[in-house]
A and B are shown apart, each in its own frame.
Chain A
Amino acid sequence: MKRFDTFHPAALLLFYICILLLSMLSMDPVLLLASVCGSISFYCAAAYPRLSARSGLFFCVLFLLVTVTNPLFSHNGVTVLFYLNHQPVTKEAICCGAALGAMLLSVLYWCRTLQIFMTSDKLLYLFGRISPSLGLLLSMCLRFTPVFRRQYQNIHQVQKTLGYGGSDQPLDRIRCHVRSFGILVTWSMEHAIETADSMNGRGYGLGQRTAFSLFCWRLRDTLLTVFCLAATGGILACRAYGALHYYYYPAMTPHIWDAPHVICYSLVWLLMLSPVILEGVETLRWNYCRSAI
């Protein structure tokens, strides 16, 4: 059980909106470093037993690619390192590329954790609250997709037994797939009409419907919401007082350590590292409880 699984979907959504907004807000290297550290460590904590080295490698390559290609498109900056095809390659452009890569990396990693925690049932709960008929449509599609996949396997098996698509010719196999798909379409439409009639028979569309859900708003959801809003508000306020305005061209802005900057950076680090701290505390507590048995 992961700690973030137990939060209310609305609190979770707000948390992710704040985090993603801040990750894309500024090119400030301190903020981006915090976001990258927070997202990658949180992903490792969230996906712990099922970490894959291949996807990590892919993201490293992506980061390097963005870093290296930026100087090819941007020749701004005052510190020229060397010339490539008579075009200057500058230190600023490389640093800017690294910052862009870091931003991309952090957003992608936050989205990966979002996918772990914001499962379709939670999304459905949120969607269904705002818009009942869209929520209904979404839930039906979610149900139908695995049903159709299974039914397709059955149909395709039968078609093969009947002697279709058995040969090694690709065209023959494609034709068999299309044939099975056609059968699936007919079956699914008749099935859907039956479902619709059954829904009508049970009084769909008459007055208010309620939806069942297991989620309830607890104290920790309030705490998370207040923390997110306070931290984001604080960071934005600091931004209004001059923090997080970072420029790479023509020369990189030197870092100033005055009050708004220090407050802003500490808030950013606190917010970005909060998920992994929460997960870590939960894991420690779990291990402690288990060892106490």
Chain B
Amino acid sequence: MNKKIISCCLILLAAPLIIAMGVWMFQDRRYNLIILALVLVSMIPFFLSFEKRQRPTRRLMLIAVLTALSVASRFLFAEIPFFKPVTSIVIITGIYLGPEAGFLCGSFSALLSNFYFGQGPWTPFQMFVWGLVGFLSGLPSLLKNKDGRRMMEHPAALVLWGGFSGVIYSLVMDVWTTVSADSTFSWARYFSAITLSLPYTIVYGLSNIVFLLLLAKPLGKKLRRVMVKYGI
């Protein structure tokens, strides 16, 4: 328990330390390095908590399957450009398997699909955003009596959250675009990046909504069946 508290404190301290180092060593000018380090550090607690706890093998395999499905779906729906069900599968994983599995599924989907589509400094950002989307969509299902899950299964909630997660994805990735093209942050550049990427944001949001409405019911049914059948 003591060890856990110490590691928690270290991670909590790491973020301000990195920022302080950025101000002191780089005179507050190297945002791109600092933000990359921050994103990497902020993912450590999620991965650590996964590593620490022993998990049933079946559950582990289910997470692996959903992650691989979301990566494969990026190829399977290649016929329709920009319409990709990756985020929807990550959200569904979060809803049914909990926030931790959602984070893993999201971040690993980003890492793995970039093996095919090109790794770059944007990989940690994609890992973080997709992981966060998965994590957040899993939070309501932690409520008692599975009320949260039932709430998230509602089509209205799916539409809202799907559209919103597309917007979050675009907004966070635009932070990276701005910082990588400017190395410090400027609001003017950020707003122009948002405006330029607006059509993509809309397509992301729309594809999330469409695929969530198409997939949530059948995929959820299948997941629930497997979970009941094998007691996961």
Contacts and interface: CB of A to CB of B under 8 A. Distances in A.
B50 to A, nearest CB: 7
Contact of B226 (A21, A132, A133, A189): A189
A27 B35 CA distance: 17
A24 B182 CA distance: 12
Contacts of B68: 140-141, 143-145, 147-148, 188
Contacts of A131: 47, 51
A147 B76 CA distance: 12
Interface in B35-80: 36, 47, 50-51, 54-55, 57-58, 60-65, 67-69, 71-73, 75-77, 79-80
Interface in A1-34: 20-21, 24-25, 27
Interface in A171-223: 173-174, 177-178, 181-182, 184-186, 188-193, 195-197, 199-200, 204-205
A196 B47 contact: no
Given A134-B47, A177-B77, A193-B230, A182 B222 contact: yes
A30 B119 CA distance: 27
Given A115-B118, A196-B57, A27 B183 contact: yes
A133 B33 contact: no
Interface stretch (B137-145, B151-159, B166-174, B212-220): B212-220
Contacts of A74: 186
B41 to A, nearest CB: 14
B228 interface: no
Contact of B32 (A24, A66, A147, A152): A24
B182 A100 contact: yes
A149 B119 contact: no
B209 interface: no
Contacts of B180: 104, 107
A141 B186 CA distance: 38
Contact of B76 (A103, A138, A149): A149
A174 B104 CA distance: 28
A114 B218 CA distance: 40
B223 to A, nearest CB: 8
Interface in A88-121: 100, 103-104, 107-108, 111-112, 114-115, 118, 120
Contact of B50 (A20, A66, A107, A134): A134
Interface in B2-56: 26, 29-30, 32-33, 36, 47, 50-51, 54-55
Nearest to A62: B181
Contacts of B222: 182, 185-186, 189
Interface string B178-190: 0011110010110
A136 interface: yes
Contacts of A189: 62, 65, 222-223, 226
Given A66-B181, A114-B119, A185-B69, A133 B60 contact: yes
B83 to A, nearest CB: 9
Contacts of A204: 57
Contacts of A103: 183
A32 to B, nearest CB: 11
Given A25-B33, A138-B108, A196-B60, A188 B65 contact: yes
A8 to B, nearest CB: 20
B120 interface: yes
A66 B219 CA distance: 43
A229 interface: no
14 contacts: A25-B30, A73-B192, A100-B183, A134-B47, A137-B63, A137-B104, A144-B65, A145-B112, A152-B72, A177-B79, A182-B219, A184-B69, A189-B222, A192-B58
Given A100-B182, A111-B118, 6 more contacts: A120-B115, A131-B51, A145-B68, A148-B69, A189-B65, A193-B58
